[in-house]
Chains A and B, each alone.
Chain A
Amino acid sequence: MITRLVPHPILSATLTLVWLGLVNKVTLGNLLLGAMLGLAIPMLTAAYWPNRPRLRKPMVAARYIGMVLWDIVIANVEVAMIILFKRRDEVHSQWIVIPLDLTSPEAITWLAGTITLTPGTVSATLSADASSILVHCLHTDDPGDVRDTIKARYEAPLKEIFP
């Protein structure tokens, strides 16, 4: 009964918080309206998430988000340094192929988004069976090292979060 009424508790909480943020004022009326939206939208869209994976370890997920936010700051400085101080012909861009151990579409989406936001890499496409990801690296002389870093730093925690 509860799972039918609230099929997606995290989405409900997120929607309520986003609504409160949008109106930018916490009052009882806004809270109720936000909660109504938070309950109605997941119920109406539940059919579109058939095999939704459960978020197993919220603490690992929170630490992952914090780590990625910090890496984004580092990434910005690194890319800015490359843009400002490297000569055009010194920028060695490479394609990197990363074989994936993740299987759920949600986990791969997280990984692809993380790769695009962090140090000098943009995720470009997946292989047709979603078992490898193609990454474009702005500047590297050691593609193997970049691949190992992404697998250890981002894919390993994602495997814990989405088992």
Chain B
Amino acid sequence: MTVIAEILVSFFLVVGGIFGLVGSFGLLKLRTTMQRLHSPTKATTLGVGGVLIASMLYFLLVGGTLSFHELLITLFLFLTAPITAHFIAKTYMARNLKPTDLPETGRDLGWAIYDDAPGSGTD
């Protein structure tokens, strides 16, 4: 293993570690649930991303093989992170917020948490 490969791999590991730490620290520091939601969906994405890049580089430079698993992990992470955040946000809003706590939709109907979709009672 050359020195350059070692430096590259450890650089990405350290960057990933820092972002993971900051994301977790955000959970402690921020005050409301909606604010805390930001820290795992963002800062942690790059934390995991850094570790995955380090892993790909390691297998490429040291093992001499191209590994696809990291790309799949990235794909699945990007598919699932917004959906999880969406579920948490909706549950929080349904349990703790009233329609008057939120801004108006600016349309005829209210937000989907409190109002039914048009025609949903008929079909």
Contact = CB atoms under 8 A, between A and B. Distances in A.
Interface of A: 18, 20-22, 24, 72-73, 75-77, 79-80, 83-84, 88, 91, 93, 95-97, 99, 112-113, 116-117, 120, 122-132, 134, 136, 138
18 contacts: A21-B69, A22-B68, A72-B42, A73-B46, A79-B38, A80-B19, A80-B43, A83-B23, A84-B25, A88-B30, A97-B105, A117-B45, A122-B38, A124-B34, A129-B118, A130-B112, A132-B107, A138-B38
B111 to A, nearest CB: 5
Interface of B: 19, 22-23, 25-26, 29-32, 34-35, 37-39, 41-43, 45-46, 67-69, 71-72, 75, 78-79, 81-83, 85-86, 89-90, 93, 102-113, 115-118
Given A76-B45, A132-B105, 12 more contacts: A24-B69, A79-B39, A80-B19, A80-B22, A80-B43, A83-B22, A84-B22, A97-B105, A125-B90, A125-B111, A127-B105, A131-B109
Contacts of B32: 93
Chain B residues touching A, majority SS: helix
Contacts of A79: 26, 38-39, 42-43
B78 to A, nearest CB: 7
Contacts of B69: 21-22, 24
Contact of A120 (B38, B111, B116): B38
